[in-house]
Every structure is written in C-alpha cells, then in structure tokens.
C-alpha cells in the first residue's frame, strides 16, 4: 500500500461535489478504502479513507483546489499502518441498531439513550432520522436510529436498561442485532382485540348482554396472565348465552380500527409481506377485518350461534396462546420461510408464545408483563410505528 489518508470534507452540500472529488482521486490512482457521508440541514460531512500513491502532494493540492471552488472545507489526516490495522481488526465487532420512537424527541431523550449506549461499552457509528423533516420535538411522530457497535457488548443488559429508560421517559426504545435487521421479513401476524382494533369484542358483547363488568374483570385477569386462558374464555363466553345475533353484528360498524393499522398493512403488502390475524377473539369480526384490510390469513374462535341466538359455547378447538404459536409456525412452513422472517404483534399474555417464537416479537400498547417479556415494545405511536423498526423512512411510505 501507498500512503493512507483520511479526507474530511464539510460545508454546504452542492450537487456534483462527490463526483468531482472522486474523479480527482481516480485520476491520481488512489483507492477508496472506506467512505461515509451525512447531510444535516443541507450541511455536508463527507469522509473518505484512501490509499494514495507515495507522492500524494499533487493529489492533495488538486482536492483542496476543487474544495475551494465548491466553497467547502477539506482536510487531510495521515493514518499510520498501526491505526489502519487496528481499524481492520474492529470489523469483527458486534453491531446493533437502536430505534428511538416518540411523539416528540428532546435533547434529553437522546442524551439518555446515548448515555445508556456508552455505559454498555458501545460506540455510536451512525445516527439517522427516519421520521419526516418536521421538528423532532413538534411533529407528532419522531424516530431516530443509532447504529452502534462494540467488542464485548451485552445486548440483554442493554435491552433491560432501555426498557427501564422507556418507562421513565415515555419513549419507545428497541435494540436489534444488525444481522437480524433488514429486509428479509416476509410475514407479519397480529392479535386482533386491542391490537388491530381498539376494543375487546367479548367485552363489548358482554355490555350488550348486561354482564359487562363481570366479563371485563375476567378478561383483565386473563390478559395479565393471572388466569388460564381456556378456562377464563369459556367462562366469559358462557355469560353471553341468549344474546341475539342481530346485536352481535352491530359491532361490525361500531368498533374502530387501531390508528396506523391501515397504513402499516398497505405498506407491508406493497413490499411483498403476507399478513395474518391470529386471535383469541371471534371469527365474525375477524372476517370483517380481514376483508377491510386485505389480510391473507385468519385464525380465531368461532362463537356458536344457533337459530339467531348465541348459545354460550365456542366451536372447538379454542384459539389460545399456544395455538396462536402453532398457527404462526404453520403459516411460515406453508410460505417456505423460517420463523426468523416472521413478525408477531400483540398486547396480552396469551400473545407471548407467538411473540417469543417469531424472529421479531412486538408488544403493542401492552400489559406490563408482556412489555417485560417481549423483544420490542411500542406504546407511544400507532401500529405504523412498526415500519420504523424495519428501517423504513416516512418519505418512503404512502
């Protein structure tokens, strides 16, 4: 190798600058060993690590002359052989992506996240904004990603510190290994009640039947993991006995879809994803939602109705947490993909089996026990915040 140099360029970003500089490097026979560029508020920061010929004075003069023409600053730094070898050795570092999501992000939020990264003996390699150009503190939705690395990182401890920080600050913080992060996901499966829709259907039916408070208490205990789902579900459905089918169908137009759901699903379908509803709720509403959102798969519980009246029974088998996980596996097998390529989203304890089975499990506006156990949690924005976890930018979304 010849002389190793780091070329640093900064100033107002202008079209043609990178092309002009790399053309000069090419004319002098220089090799580019590394390159990085960022633009913040039209201000450029460009770095090129180059292997220059032994006599590089003419190269440096040509670069500095061109930089002056573009009204930017350029600076060369000598890189020793030892520094070069040390840089190469750090290629084996573990790499992670930390995604910070909130309705607004303050300097204190970013300082707290940066401190947690530093305390974990990790280095920040790159920071990117995924949300739109509006102020991070005022836009109503904000997302920043930190690309970090380290030699002796402990992701479980870092995840725990981020979870604690999220609880204290009210922002969502997710960490993923870079090897797991990317565009290989192909399937996303959702719980329905309180995830895709803004209600628990069984609770709404119970209100119609006049047993709302009793059923809600059992529902809450089951979602917290305090009761066996099958037993509690059977008990709750039994209280619906005698409800007219006409009243049941009234819910189709009354229960709202969760904010961001339509944008999320339409975007993922445009990217080739398959979508599924895996629900402990009821098929009558699941079929309505599947048609409205264009979902590919639906597995839920069938509420037995005879002669226009709810019988208080469920057509077996009951769709509990274990069966949700089994159905996720079945769909992945049918698609010919691995579970690492699957995403599962839910809010209750009966969602944990599929959240833990999927390559990416996301607790959405979830109960505390679910947030503690899931890989990732989103509570501050709508369902379309999941797109940020996949590295998508606002400007690339519909």
Q: What is the CATH number of the domain that holds 216?
A: 3.40.50.1000
Instruction: Give yes or no: residues 72 and 100 share one domain.
Output: no
Instruction: Give yes or no: residues 48 and 109 share one domain.
Output: no
Is 365 inside a domain boundary? yes
| Residue 203 is among the residues annotated as catalytic for this protein | no
Q: Domain ends where: 88, 108, 124?
A: 88
Phi, psi for 314 (deg, rounded to 5):
-115, 135
Q: Which of 191, 320, 351, 394 is catalytic?
A: 191
Q: Which of 51, 112, 172, 193 is catalytic?
A: 193
pLDDT, averaged per 10 consecutive residues of the chain (398 residues), comes to 91 96 95 94 95 84 96 96 84 88 94 94 92 83 94 80 92 86 84 96 95 86 77 92 96 95 96 96 97 97 97 95 97 96 95 96 93 93 96 83
Instruction: Give yes or no: residues 39 and 124 share one domain.
Output: no
Instruction: Give yes or no: residues 245 and 342 share one domain.
Output: yes
Instruction: Give yes or no: residues 388 and 272 share one domain.
Output: yes
Q: Is the pTM of this model over 0.85?
A: yes
Q: Domain ends where: 133, 150, 177?
A: 177
Is 182 inside a domain boundary? no
Instruction: Give yes or no: residues 28 and 152 share one domain.
Output: no
Instruction: Give yes or no: residues 128 and 225 share one domain.
Output: no
Residue 305: predicted pLDDT:
97
Residue 179: predicted pLDDT:
67
Instruction: Give yes or no: residues 305 and 233 share one domain.
Output: yes
CATH number (domain holding residue 121): 3.30.70.260
Is 366 inside a domain boundary? yes
Residue 202: predicted pLDDT:
94
| Residue 191 is among the residues annotated as catalytic for this protein | yes
Is 324 inside a domain boundary? yes
Q: Which domain holds residue 158?
A: 94-177
Instruction: Give yes or no: residues 24 and 130 share one domain.
Output: no
* Range 254-289 burial, b when 16+ CB lie within 10 A, else e: ebeebebbbebbbbbbeeebbbbbbbbbbbbbbebb
Q: How many domains does the chain have?
A: 3
Instruction: Give yes or no: residues 293 and 362 share one domain.
Output: yes
Is 37 inside a domain boundary? yes
Is 79 inside a domain boundary? yes
Is 307 inside a domain boundary? yes
Instruction: Give yes or no: residues 168 and 218 share one domain.
Output: no
Residue 296: predicted pLDDT:
98
Residue 232: predicted pLDDT:
87
Q: Domain ends where: 177, 199, 230?
A: 177
Instruction: Give yes or no: residues 150 and 278 share one domain.
Output: no
Residue 1: predicted pLDDT:
66
């Amino acid at each position: 190798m010849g002389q190793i140099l780091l070329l640093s360029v900064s100033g107002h970003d202008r079209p043609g600058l990178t092309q002009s500089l790399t053309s000069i490097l090419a004319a002098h026979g220089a090799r580019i060993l590394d390159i990085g560029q960022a633009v913040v508020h039209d201000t450029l920061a460009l770095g090129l690590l180059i292997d220059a010929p032994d006599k590089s004075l003419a190269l440096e003069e040509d670069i500095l002359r061109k930089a002056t023409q573009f009204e930017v600053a350029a600076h060369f730094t000598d890189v020793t052989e030892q520094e070069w070898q040390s840089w190469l050795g750090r290629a084996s570092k573990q790499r992670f992506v930390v995604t910070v999501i909130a309705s607004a992000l303050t300097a204190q939020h970013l300082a707290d996240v940066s401190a947690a990264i530093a305390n974990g003996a990790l280095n920040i390699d790159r920071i990117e904004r995924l949300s739109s150009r509006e102020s991070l503190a005022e836009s109503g939705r904000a997302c920043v990603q930190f690309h970090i690395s380290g030699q002796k990182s402990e992701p479980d401890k870092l995840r725990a510190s981020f979870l604690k920080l999220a609880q204290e600050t009210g922002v969502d913080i997710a960490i993923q290994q870079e090897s797991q992060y990317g565009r290989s996901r192909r399937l996303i499966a959702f719980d329905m009640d309180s995830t895709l829709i803004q209600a628990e259907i069984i609770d709404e039916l119970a209100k119609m039947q006049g047993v709302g408070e009793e059923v809600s208490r059992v529902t809450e205990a089951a979602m917290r993991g305090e009761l066996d789902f099958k037993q509690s579900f059977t008990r709750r459905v039994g209280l619906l006995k005698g409800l007219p089918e006409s009243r049941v169908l009234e819910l189709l137009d009354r229960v709202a879809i969760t904010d961001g759901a339509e944008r999320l699903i339409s975007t993922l379908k445009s990217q080739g994803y398959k979508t599924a509803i895996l629900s402990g709720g009821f098929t009558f509403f699941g079929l309505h939602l599947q048609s409205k959102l264009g979902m590919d798969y639906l597995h839920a519980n069938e509420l037995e109705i005879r002669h226009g009246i709810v019988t208080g029974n469920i057509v077996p088998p009951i769709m509990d947490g274990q069966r949700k996980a089994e159905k996720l596996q079945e769909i992945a097998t049918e698609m010919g993909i691995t579970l690492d390529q699957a995403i599962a989203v839910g809010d209750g304890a009966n969602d944990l089996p599929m959240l833990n089975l999927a390559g990416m499990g996301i607790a959405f506006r979830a109960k505390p026990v679910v947030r503690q156990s899931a890989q990732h949690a989103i509570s501050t924005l709508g369902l379309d915040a999941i797109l940020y976890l996949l590295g998508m930018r606002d400007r690339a979304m519909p």
